[in-house]
Amino acid sequence: MEIVKAGLEHLEEICAIEESSFTDPWSRGTLSQCIQGKFAAVLVALEDGDVLGHAIFNVMADEAELYNIAVRRESRGRGVGTALLQGTMRLARQAGAERMFLEVRKSNAAAREMYRKAGFAVCGQRRNYYEAPREDAMIMDIQLGERA
């Protein structure tokens, strides 16, 4: 498996993973603009040319925000999400970020555990942040330092 910057040739697979992973997926247009670097950066995990998952993040000055990580259902539990997370942390640090934030559904125990294992800690909560279904978000952050 390799982690690389996404290109437009990956858009169809990213859209399919997004649709199957989230109740409120990002639109094709927004994903396309992110891949082109207009709003964010997108990484993909590739294996034999197939996209196993993707991560979307952005760096603003000395802070980064991880918008989402999504992994193809049949590839979950293989470390794909962790590899994407490590890739975002590495690139954010290289871009000058000292701290990374994210929001995660309170009920998403698997993602919260992955972030915790990577060194993220809960630093807040956003009430009723998510829709479909309505749910609180846990805000997590990490000091990137030498970890990334």
The residues annotated as belonging to the active site are: 103, 115
Give the DSSP H or E segment for 55: strand 50-60
Q: Are 14 and 44 in contact (CB under 8 A)?
A: yes
Reading phi first (left if > 0) and then psi (alpha if -120 to 50, else beta), residue 128 is in left
The CA distance from 73 to 64, in Å, is: 27
Q: Are 70 and 21 in contact (CB under 8 A)?
A: yes
Q: Are 101 and 63 in contact (CB under 8 A)?
A: yes
Q: 45 is written with which tokens?
A: 């995990």
DSSP state of 2: E
